[in-house]
Amino acid sequence: MDLKNAVIYAYSSARERGESRSDAFFRAVSVYRSQCPNLPVNRAGTEVARILLAAVQSQLEAESSTMSLAATEEASLTETA
């Protein structure tokens, strides 16, 4: 598993177990630092925040395009009826 996916998995699985956002974030930073031990904690936190933000943005974009596709299909069905 690459570092990006490991970070996302650590955060997501912690949240699924009911951990707070800050605890889940701490776990994700710990995973990141295990792969990059020389990186300062504050820099690791910034990198983890960027990884998680990019994951959320791509998920939102995927949902948006799915909703747009559904609306287009519904409009074409309405026009043919």
pLDDT at 74: 63
For 43-79, write each residue's pLDDT tens digit. Answer: 999 999 999 999 999 888 888 777 665 666 665 656 5
Q: CA 75: distance to chain centroid? A: 31
Higher-pLDDT residue of 68, 34: 34
| Dihedral over alpha carbons 41, 45, 46, 51 (to 10 degrees) | 140
Decide: 33 and 41 in contact? Cβ < 8 Å. yes
Task: Write down the pLDDT at residue 64.
Answer: 78
Q: What percent of the chain has pLDDT over 70?
A: 81
What token pair was written down for 14? 């912690």
What's the predicted TM-score (pTM) here? 0.74
Q: Taking the domains of the chain in order of start, what are their residue ranges?
A: 3-80
CA distance 3 to 12: 14
